[in-house]
Amino acid sequence: MLPLLSASALLFLAGRVGLGSGWFYAATLGSGLALLLGWRYCAPRTRLSLADAPVGLLAGLLLLLPSAVATVLMARIPLFAPLFEQVTGLLGESALHPWQAVALFLVVLLNATAEELFFREALPTRLSRYPAAISVLLYAAMTTVFGVVLLPVAAVVLATAMYLLRTRTGGITAPIVAHIVWTSGMIGVVAALG
């Protein structure tokens, strides 16, 4: 649980200092490293196969499509304006500079990989009862530190899909690729609408 608590505390810090701050990148990278260390010391290794990467790409795109449509609708319907403002608040008030976009993508690469290794491989192997449900709920709980109402909802959907993908492929590559595709795509959608 120490990696999970450490990662959550660092994400809380990242959410408070805001995108663009050096502390944001340090905290989010620290969060990913905490989860990687948790995986390193807790999990049996499963296969990493590039053959599963196209499955992950397709799954990520299939998850991205309804998420992007829902985000666009949320941006257009005044009733959902407060929720949309919370989501866009994650990216800050100004447009991303090119260096910020590159840095953010690198953070996504590390953290999506670390989250999948920890929540879909390390944690479930340590749980004797309800490994899928508990790992999904703990992942969603970790996202609450940002204070964005819709983030835990999205986390439950993403984590459930990634757990099913992990079970279906027998490896961790497809969930990692799908997570990277979905997260990067959603950042792009939110940035374009914000």
pLDDT, tens only, 57-88: 999 999 999 999 999 999 999 999 888 888 88
Tell me the pLDDT band of 147, cut-offs 50, 70 and 90.
confident
Higher per-residue confidence, 179 vs 126: 179
Tell me the pLDDT band of 30, cut-offs 50, 70 and 90.
very high
Looking at residues 132-158, what average pLDDT do you find? 92
User: What whole-number distance in Å separates Cα of residue 55 and Cα of residue 15?
Assistant: 32
Looking at residues 92-99, what average pLDDT do you find? 71
**Least-confidence region, from 28-42, 92-106, 165-179:** 92-106
Q: How far is CA 168 from CA 79, 106, 137, 172, in A?
A: 38, 27, 20, 10
Residue 155's pLDDT is 95
Tell me the pLDDT band of 33, cut-offs 50, 70 and 90.
very high
Tell me the pLDDT band of 94, cut-offs 50, 70 and 90.
low
Residue 90's pLDDT is 75
Of the CA atoms within 13 Å of residue 160, those in its CB half-sphere come to: 9
Looking at residues 26-30, what average pLDDT do you find? 93
What residue segments make up the domains of the chain, in order of their start? 2-193
The pLDDT of residue 146 is above 90: no
Residue 126's pLDDT is 87
State the residue for tokens 């959907």: 157
Looking at residues 153-181, what average pLDDT do you find? 95
Q: Which residues contact 146 (CB under 8 A, 6 or more apart)?
A: 11, 12, 15, 90
Residue 100's pLDDT is 79
For the chain, the farthest-separated pair of C-alpha atoms sits apart, in whole angstroms, at 48
| Side chain identity at residue 45, one-letter code | R
Q: Which residues contact 53 (CB under 8 A, 6 or more apart)?
A: 173, 174, 177
The pLDDT of residue 1 is above 70: yes
Tell me the pLDDT band of 111, cut-offs 50, 70 and 90.
very high
